Structure 1
Amino acid sequence: MKRKNMVAMVTSIALVGAVAVGGTLALLSQPSNTVTNIFTVGAGYDVDEIKLDEDTVHQEVSGANLGGYKGNGVPVEERVTGNTYSNLVAGTTLDKDPTFRIVDDGDETVSPKSWFVAQVTGLTANAGKLSVSGVELGNGWYEVAFAEGKYTYTSVTAGSQIKEDTWYIYDTAISAGGETDPLFTQLHVDAVTAGTNPANIVISGTAVEAVGDATFEASRDAVMAAVGLK
């Protein structure tokens, strides 16, 4: 199979800032020229059509997850590129469902059917503070490893599989109007200390153009090589 070059990248950063108690956690993914937001698009892609978004959230004021955050389940058109999580409480969960999609914005260029590959960094620096605690059951993401010239693909079934500098590939090529399953669904606040900040958590994704109707099994090695895992 002809290998395709890396063609699009979207990077989002979970930024944490100090407040009186705990911190503030926000996911950002708007195109920017700053070092904290990177969005590059190659030939054949529309800069406005490759998206990374998430559900809106609200802080819970009662129940077992008091002080944590729960998703609102808004329609896709109301999903956002960033949420702010204020006054973090140790032992709670934060709903967060980063999802990649291709939209058709109605202009002359429609981005091609593509495979999505993702990475997460910042989890090691957050050890003992924040961790990924949930993934959607039956999601289409696979953890990818490469050793001795061979790729290994393991279905993502637990939040503990979302690790530092590890590659993940989605098992379905996405066309305009389609989306991936969330890479994960929840963060856990392991511990917070007033006046200190957890480190940044960075979610980055790459779109690689699909070749015809080639299957996931036939495409995945070439896709991973295209994004640099080889």
Structure 2
Amino acid sequence: MKKTKLITLLGAISLIGAIGAGSTFAYLTSTTGTVTNTFTVGNVNFDDDPLTGGLSESKVARDENSNLYVDADGTGEWTVKENKYEDLVAGEVVYKDPTVHMADDSQDAWVFAKIVNENPELTITYASDWVDVTDAYKTAQNLNNIDYKVYAKKDVISKSAHSTIFEEVTVGNNVTENTTFTDIKVSACAVQAAGFANYTDALAQVSFN
């Protein structure tokens, strides 16, 4: 009788073991949705409007009353790429306002201007928010002697914004009827603001074409 019970017990244990070995466990799991990251490259652009082309100035004309060259376009308008100043006299102050225009889709930028003025008798008065960085530019670009000035906008210029580099040019007191002038030429370069703490840091990236 005892022998039979032992066999029966062992058979039961064997059966349970077989069930355990043949079953699978259902672990608790969960999944999330997919996070998609899209990367695109921005741009730094001047306005491509054919009227301004990124750099333009106000049309000037002699005022009938003062006989001085003044802004003939009105505030906030820059419609020409060239002005002609005729019959200048010693000490005369003429209006000239080269202005940079950023595109509507441009990234924030540090903006620089190259000014070629080979006329010792024409003195430019620069806007207070533009600073002379000629020496720092030469160092950053490994240049020695250059025949132009480089100015930087002190603050970042954002999309759709404008900034006037200067508004006045003064004729020297020593001009005579035989004095001749060469053109004052202005060009600009924009460098992305991201990655550069200030305009000085961005000088090595400046390129005037």
Q: CA RMSD in A?
A: 3.4
* 2:177 pairs with one of 193, 199, 213: 193
Are the equivalent residues in 2 in contact too, given 1:101–1:174 (CA < 8 A)?
A: no
Task: Work out the CA distance in 1 between the residues paired with 2:110 and 2:188.
Answer: 10
Q: Does 1:131 align with 2:131?
A: no
CA shift for structure 1 position 117: 0.7
More strand by share: 1
Task: Name the structure 2 match of 1:121.
Answer: 116
Task: Name the structure 2 match of 1:204.
Answer: 187
Q: Deviations over 1:45-86 (max 9, x none)?
A: 4771661122222213444xx4x3122461434533222223
* 2:198 pairs with one of 204, 209, 219: 219
**Structure 1 residues 149 and 205, CA gap change in structure 2 (3 angstroms):** closer
**Structure 1 residues 96 and 222, CA gap change in structure 2 (3 angstroms):** same
**Structure 1 residues 198 and 103, CA gap change in structure 2 (3 angstroms):** same
Q: Which amino acid in structure 1 is aligned with residue 57 of structure 2?
A: E
Task: Work out the CA distance in 1 between the residues paired with 2:81 and 2:156.
Answer: 22
Task: Work out the CA distance in 2 between the residues paired with 1:166 and 1:119.
Answer: 6
Are the equivalent residues in 2 in contact too, given 1:120–1:164 (CA < 8 A)?
A: no
Q: Which amino acid in structure 2 is aligned with residue 140 of structure 1?
A: D
Task: Work out the CA distance in 1 between the residues paired with 2:107 and 2:99.
Answer: 18
Q: Which amino acid in structure 1 is aligned with residue 96 of structure 2?
A: K
Structure 2 unmatched ranges of 5 or more? 1-42, 141-145
Structure 1 unmatched ranges of 5 or more? 1-42, 105-109, 151-162
Q: Which amino acid in structure 1 is aligned with residue 120 of structure 2?
A: A
Task: Name the structure 1 match of 2:95.
Answer: 95
Task: Work out the CA distance in 2 between the residues paired with 1:135 and 1:148.
Answer: 20
Alignment TM-score, normalising by the size of structure 1: 0.56
Runs of 4 or more consecutive aligned structure 1 residues displaced over 6 Å after TM superposition: 147-150
Greater RCO structure (CA 8 Å; 6+ sep): 1
**Structure 1 residues 77 and 199, CA gap change in structure 2 (3 angstroms):** closer
CA shift for structure 1 position 167: 2.0
Q: Deviations over 1:115-165 (max 9, x none)?
A: 101121133xx123x222x334xx311212339979xxxxxxxxxxxx952
Are the equivalent residues in 1 in contact too, given 2:46–2:106 (CA < 8 A)?
A: yes
Task: Work out the CA distance in 2 between the residues paired with 1:198 and 1:225.
Answer: 32
Task: Work out the CA distance in 2 between the residues paired with 1:147 and 1:206.
Answer: 13
Alignment TM-score, normalising by the size of structure 2: 0.60
When Rg is computed on C-alpha atoms for both structures, the one with the higher figure is 2
Task: Name the structure 1 match of 2:61.
Answer: 58
Are the equivalent residues in 2 in contact too, given 1:56–1:73 (CA < 8 A)?
A: yes
**Structure 1 residues 92 and 61, CA gap change in structure 2 (3 angstroms):** farther
CA shift for structure 1 position 168: 1.3
Task: Name the structure 1 match of 2:154.
Answer: 171
Q: What is the aligned-residue identity percentage?
A: 26
More helix by share: 2
Task: Name the structure 2 match of 1:183.
Answer: 165
**Structure 1 residues 141 and 61, CA gap change in structure 2 (3 angstroms):** same
